A and B are shown apart, each in its own frame.
Chain A
Amino acid sequence: MAAPRIGNVLCRISNCNFTSVLLEKINNSRSWTCLQQIRHRQAFPPAAWYVKQKTTDLDENLTKENEEFLDDVMKDVYKKRLDRVFSPLEDGPWKRNDYNKYTRRTGVLAIKIGVVPQWTKEGKRFTTTMLQIIDNHVIRYTPPEKFMKSAGWKPWWGNKYGVAVVGALSTNPRIYTKEYNNLFMESGVPPKKKLTRFLITENAAVQPGTPLNVMHYRVGDVVDCSAKTIDHGFQGVVKRWGMKGMPKSHGVTKTHRRMGTTAGGKFKGGIWKGKKMPGLMGNRWRTARGLKIWRVNTKYNVLYVTGQNVPGNTHGFVRVMDTKLPLRKPAPENPPPMPTWYPEDATEPIEEEYFDKDLFQFTEESVKFAAEKK
């Protein structure tokens, strides 16, 4: 069973208890995920599409029975909507198109769980990052013509791309404002904690309300993971730019971790723009490209991707997309599920774990090496 159904327990590795309206008992506390503290260099006015998310703290003073009743009503409302098969709109399921080399499918919103080692069949050890695709649904799809007129469009995209807004982690609507809750009316899903958008080509249009899970990717696929890097705050030049600093002793006075010279003398005209200096380090969007998926766990919706350098903290949100590297894209005879995976695509029963063919599984016999001749 690929998609986690109502009642299944979520991944509890590293003691992080994620709760979702659909998946477990409601937890009304506001601090669920360990998101990075957002510290901006400058305060910008909000974007044109910005909608105030949280309500002010309402002292509702409801009795315990009333709270439980409201939770039951919420589960009832959303369970009814999502039990319907992929047609929250009256016009029914959308057409599924074929994959070609120009297709950009929607990505998913995952949480970086942690880093674990894996072994190849030759016995080589390498690290992988686990990314859990957590309660994703497509919230909205905007076709290219409409997207071109909206606030978030950049001219160099032309009319190639539409937008799919994907949300992660269903939450209690009672902590959000009416404007924010109304964003989810079209798709019929509970309001999500985190929203992101993906640029997609028209042939990869996904219907709002479609759940996205780990079967959207296959073992052996290559993905790009982008996230906000770990926020180190205001850092000096040695940590931030890797400068050498000065010796700790031998007469050095008051200059151990400083920059030293700033400019190149009067001929170079002073300090050049972009000079490496102390400042805020981290908390920037970075993308790790070309990460191969070695292993897929369908029970908990976890991807194991190469490397331990997926940006961000543990339990930070990560945008996972099909890679843009041209030599790593899937072969035309092996296209990925378009626009995403649906349960009716399953030709055989879905296993709990899928492994890459080069990955060593510990249920197999141990790797044997021939003894070296002396």
Chain B
Amino acid sequence: MAASMSCKNVFLKISSASRRNLKRSYCQSTNLTNAEVRRKRNEIFETEKKRQLGLITRMEKIQVDVKGPPEDCTLIMNKGISTPFNCSMHIQELLVNRSALALVNGEPWDMHRPLKEDCSIEFLHFLDEDPRIVNKAFWRSCCLVLGHVLETALQNQYYVELCSFPKPHLQSGSFVYDADLKLKDWKPTTAELNCLTRVGYKLHHLDFKFERLEVDASVALDMFKDNHFKSQQIPYIAESSGSKVVVYRVGDHVDISSGPCIASTNQIGRFNVTAAHQIDTPDYGKLYRVQGLGLPSQVMMHYWSYDILRRRAGKFNTAPLPRLNMESSPHTDDNTEIST
């Protein structure tokens, strides 16, 4: 009885447009929990990753020219397997720990993304002369972590469905994740926000890598079939990037994101969940806009100054509401934007 009631509540929240795409199921469907869905997604990710690795039958070598501190050097790495992280391991521990992104032939590249051809690499960190790309990657990574927090933190009876997050815009003062929390008029207290913060901050010590995987749209749909927001978005995303969807895994949390993310959660020094505001979207109905604030581990800040930023991050973030159409698809990201 309780199972059917929860299913019914789920379906009541979605808009009429998306209702057409969904199959109705009543008492037969099991009581969906985030833990179960997470486990399933993880399995699909793991099998897909193994399958893609299995496609490489021959070990081919590529030449990688590494630029910058401590010195320029040339490495011979494995095609399709070696990552910029592996390149940094050959050079210096400092690069291994502090590098958040790599510039491969001028293109921002994840540290754990395999290299495909001969290239030149530059390592980026947060105290660079111009850290704009890394900052955006950091903001994006924090959004993913926030998604992880929302899927993990609530009790089992609340099946959280993440919707999307807007383009990283540091000046807004906070990173954002819009999600359907299945809660009615929830105004989180300071204590509750602290609890959410702690869930996210734990990842700093667990040191999870941000693993990138390019999957086919069908695999992505399989992964996210239990999240009806993402199921709707995947066709649009695949359309713009040739039937491929980029998926990231942090620990056991899997999510869709286009742009590069930082190397590992160890590089997130400070993480705070600052607010949860209710929003009303035309495409997705009523959602919660959960906001957070973070700082990289490399960046030092006195608690007093950080508190000023934290108070500001509690204010409602005026980033655009999640939309379903392609032009403003939240997961496409323009990394060549000049605006800081």
Contacts and interface: CB of A to CB of B under 8 A. Distances in A.
A60 B301 CA distance: 6
Contacts of A62: 305
Contacts of B302: 55, 58, 60, 174
Interface string B283-308: 00000000000000001111111001
A181 interface: yes
Interface string B149-192: 00000000000000000000000000000000000000000000
A307 interface: no
A185 to B, nearest CB: 12
Given A55-B302, A174-B302, A61 B308 contact: no
Contacts of B27: none
A181 B304 contact: yes
B308 A178 contact: no
B127 interface: yes
Contact of A59 (B300, B304, B305, B308): B300
Contacts of A178: 303
A136 to B, nearest CB: 23
A178 B305 CA distance: 12
Given A70-B308, A73-B308, A61 B127 contact: yes
Contacts of A174: 302, 304-305
Contacts of A60: 300-302, 305
A181 B305 CA distance: 13
Contacts of B303: 178
B299 to A, nearest CB: 8
Interface of B: 127, 299-305, 308
Most buried by A among B127, B300, B305: B305
A173 to B, nearest CB: 5
A70 B300 contact: no
A185 B308 CA distance: 16
B305 A70 contact: yes
Contacts of B300: 58-61
Interface in A45-71: 55, 58-62, 70
A70 B303 CA distance: 12
A184 to B, nearest CB: 12
A226 to B, nearest CB: 33
Contacts of B304: 173-174, 181
A174 B304 CA distance: 6
B304 to A, nearest CB: 5
A55 B303 CA distance: 10
B312 to A, nearest CB: 11
Given A60-B302, A61-B127, 13 more contacts: A55-B302, A58-B300, A58-B301, A58-B302, A60-B300, A61-B299, A61-B300, A70-B305, A70-B308, A73-B308, A174-B302, A178-B303, A181-B304
A82 to B, nearest CB: 18
22 contacts: A55-B302, A58-B300, A58-B301, A58-B302, A59-B300, A60-B300, A60-B301, A60-B302, A60-B305, A61-B127, A61-B299, A61-B300, A62-B305, A70-B305, A70-B308, A73-B308, A173-B304, A174-B302, A174-B304, A174-B305, A178-B303, A181-B304
Q: Which 10 A-B pairs have the closest CB atoms?
A: A174-B302, A58-B300, A173-B304, A174-B304, A178-B303, A60-B300, A59-B300, A58-B302, A70-B305, A73-B308
Interface in A135-193: 173-174, 178, 181
A59 B302 CA distance: 9
A334 to B, nearest CB: 46
Nearest to B300: A58
A127 B304 CA distance: 46
Contacts of A173: 304
A14 B280 CA distance: 66
A173 B308 CA distance: 13
